[in-house]
Structure 1
Amino acid sequence: MLRYIINRIFLMFITLFLIITLTFFLMHAIPGGPFTSEKMLAPEIEAALNAKYHLNDPVWLQYLNYLKSVASFDLGPSFKYPGVRVNDMIADGLPVTLQIGALSLLMVVVVGVPMGIIAALKKGQWQDSLVMAFATIGIAIPSYVVATILLFVFALKLGWVPTFGLDEWRGYILPVFALSGFYLSYVARLTRSSMLDVLDQDFMKTAKAKGLSPYKILIHHGLRNALIPIVTVLGPVVANLLTGSFIIEQIFALPGIGRHFVLSISNRDYTTIMGITIFYACFLMLMIFIVDMLYLIIDPRIKLAGKKS
């Protein structure tokens, strides 16, 4: 078990190193530079900026310096905002992104999983058809389209919620619905298919033959086994939700990480693009690692296999 954890952590560092390397050289392969814009700077000013941020150094030297900086948990300065570090930008936007992401995750789990269970238990009935219709629409329509429709109907036309910002509790409603719609629909469909597969297993029939209550059969035997594929996808889902949707934050003018990322692309703020990409990669790998550890709790067979190995 300990060897498995050490190997996973080692592979995470290797993956992170490859992501940093790829991101760095892709940024430097883009034509132009971070100070290239429609409004051309004076050559003297651009030369001074390049010297200040060591952009005149050879690429291999810039790469080594960036690796040293990342190793010390410093993602570098922002090229767009003088005196602002990328770490500060992430720390500034992270609380907002985590709030929206946590509420969206709660909605995905609390609503999506029960919807899938109901659809499986009522297979072929109107409840199943209703849940599957909702899930299909939620998967088919992109989140930015959902956000635009919700904003137009409930904010502009009806005036029930604010159009932007999080100054009051109603400001969370539309971003959470728009961000969680796709993942809620996906989890509902996955829960349904997983539950249908578990309900046909022999151990479920044996539990019924023993006279166990339907609630105990569903929770202790059915749901626990059906959760394995759901937990598998929850790792990336949690990472996506808790790091925020870049487009959703931009549509609702939320000062989260996603908005910083979108603005950094249009501003050619290379260090911010690389920093947020690295942060997201770290968070995603951490969530996948936690999911793998949860397997040991959910499925005892995996724990037994780990002991034998």
Structure 2
Amino acid sequence: MLRYILRRLWSLLLVWAVTVTVTFFAMRMVPGDPITVMLSDQSGNVDLAERLRAQYGLDRPLLYQLFDYLAGIASGTFGLSYRFVGYSVINVIAGGLAITPILALVSFLVALPIGVVLGVSAAVRAGGWLDAVITIALVASISIPSFALAAVLVWVFSIKLELLPVAGWGSVEQAILPIIVLVVAPTAVIARLARTYMLEVLDCDYVRTARAKGVRESLVIYRHAMRNTLVPLLTSVGIIFGALLSGAFIVETVFNIPGLGRIAVESILARDYPVTMTIVLLFTAFYTLINFAVDLLYGIVDPRVRLTGDAS
């Protein structure tokens, strides 16, 4: 198991290295000049533009710029922001670091139990009216774009009923609508997966044997079938959490939340390469670390993984 952990950690380092390199060169290929954007109405000042290029190292070859950025990562500052002159990247994104991961985690913790309960309920009553209602609701939830759902919720709860704030961040009321928008699609995905896995488990011989022995249906479902449903469902947790992080880009922009998603959108428009690259690296780190934790948890839930030393 130790060898497996070390191998996975090494693969994480490789993924992060590739992410940094690809993102760096991809950002340099984006049309536009960050110095021109930075100068704005003084863009015609050639001398000032040259001084700023030298200050930020943009007059050096790309390979040297990459090494400078790697040095910034090693120092923990991640370099200097182009958009906010004199501020390090970590200072620019510090506020977002306290918002986006928490927003995604809370949404996931809400979506997981609701999705499992809906999926198991639909599977237990497969073919019945409850299964049909849940299935239709799940398909509709997946089909609705998050920005459209956000607009509808704002119109109903903020404009018509005046129960919740339209946008902003800092109170529980301001977090309700963004969390609902983030929760809907992952809940539907988890429920559909839970229903599929539960139907497979309920058709297994050991479940039929338990029922034949007269074991109560509740024990058959929750003691025998549920555990083996959660094992394959666990493999999808990392992907679902990654989708939540990606959804933060839209939700934070729509609801004017100063998280990493909105900061990334603003940085892309402002050609703030260091901030954009750092946020991409952070999202990659969140995603890979969650999948790493899932692999380790998989070994706890399924003892066979510990015997083989592999999470596949």
Q: Tell me how far 1:243 sits from its aligned partner.
A: 7.3
One of 215, 240, 249 as aligned partner of 2:252? 249
Q: Which residue of 1 aligns with 2:303?
A: 300
Are 2:153 and 1:186 aligned? no
Give the alignment of 1:253-272 within 5 angstroms: 253-272=256-275
**Deviations 1:61-84 (CA, angstroms, capped at 9, x unpaired):** 111222222233331111101222
Gaps of 5+ in 1: none
Q: Among residues 276, 279, 301, which one is paired with 1:276 in the alignment?
A: 279
Looking at structure 2, the residues matched to 240 and 204 of structure 1 have their Cα atoms a distance apart, in angstroms, of: 34
The worse-fitting range, judged by mean Cα deviation, of 256-265 and 240-249 is 240-249
Count of aligned residue pairs for this structure pair: 307
CA distance in 2, matches of 1:278, 1:256: 15
Which letter maps to 1:24? F
1:213 corresponds, among 198, 203, 216, to 216
Q: Report the identity percentage.
A: 37
Structure 1 CA distance for aligned equivalents of residues 208 and 75 of structure 2: 57
> Mean Cα displacement is larger for which, 119-128 or 35-44?
35-44
TM-score of the aligned structures, taking structure 1 as reference length:
0.94
User: 1:135-146 maps to which residues of 2 (within 5 A)?
Assistant: 135-146=138-149
Say if 2:88 is the partner of 1:85: yes
Contact 1:120 1:193 in 2 (8 A): yes
- Cα-Cα RMSD: 1.8
Paired AA for residue 34 in structure 2: P
Q: 1:123 aligns with which of 113, 122, 126?
A: 126
Deviation at 1:29, TM superposition (A): 1.7
The equivalent of 2:151 in structure 1 is 148
Alignment partner, residue 102 of structure 2: 99
CA positional deviation for 1:237: 2.1
By how many angstroms is 1:167 displaced?
4.1
Mean CA deviation greater in 268-277 or 234-243:
234-243
Contact 1:244–1:257 (CA under 8 A) maintained in structure 2 = no
- State the alpha-carbon separation in 2 of the partners of residues 107 and 75 from structure 1: 33
Q: Which amino acid aligns with 1:17?
A: A
Q: What residue in structure 2 maps to residue 196 of structure 1?
A: 199
Q: Secondary structure at the match of 2:91?
A: helix
Deviates more, 1:195-204 or 1:25-34: 25-34
* Cross-structure match for 1:30: 30
Are residues 152 and 35 of structure 1, via their aligned partners in 2, closer, same or farther at CA, if it must alter by over 3 Å?
farther
Once the two structures are overlaid, the 10-residue window that deviates more, 179-188 or 79-88, is 79-88
TM normalised by structure 2 equals 0.93
- Equivalent position of 2:18 in the other structure: 18
SS at match of 1:75: coil
Structure 1 pair 285–33 and aligned structure 2 pair: CA distance change class (3 A): same
C-alpha separation between the residues in 2 aligned to 1:277 and 1:254?
Answer: 18
Deviation at residue 265 of structure 1 after TM alignment: 1.1
**Aligned-pair CA distance for 1:249:** 0.5
CA distance in 1, matches of 2:68, 2:173: 45
Q: Any idea what the Cα deviations from partners look like across 1:219-267, whole Å, max 9, x if unmatched?
A: 2221111112321111132244367611100111111111111111111
Worse-matched range after superposition: 26-35 or 284-293: 26-35
Label 1:237 to 1:40 Cα distance change in 2 as closer, same or farther (>3 A). Answer: farther
**Aligned with 2:34: secondary structure?**
coil
Deviations 1:252-308 (A, max 9, x none): 11111111111111111111110000011111110011111111111122222239x
Q: Aligned-pair distance for 1:88?
A: 2.1
**After the TM superposition, which of the residue ranges 91-100 and 75-84 deviates more from structure 2?**
91-100
8 Å contact from structure 1 (residues 116, 188) kept in 2:
yes
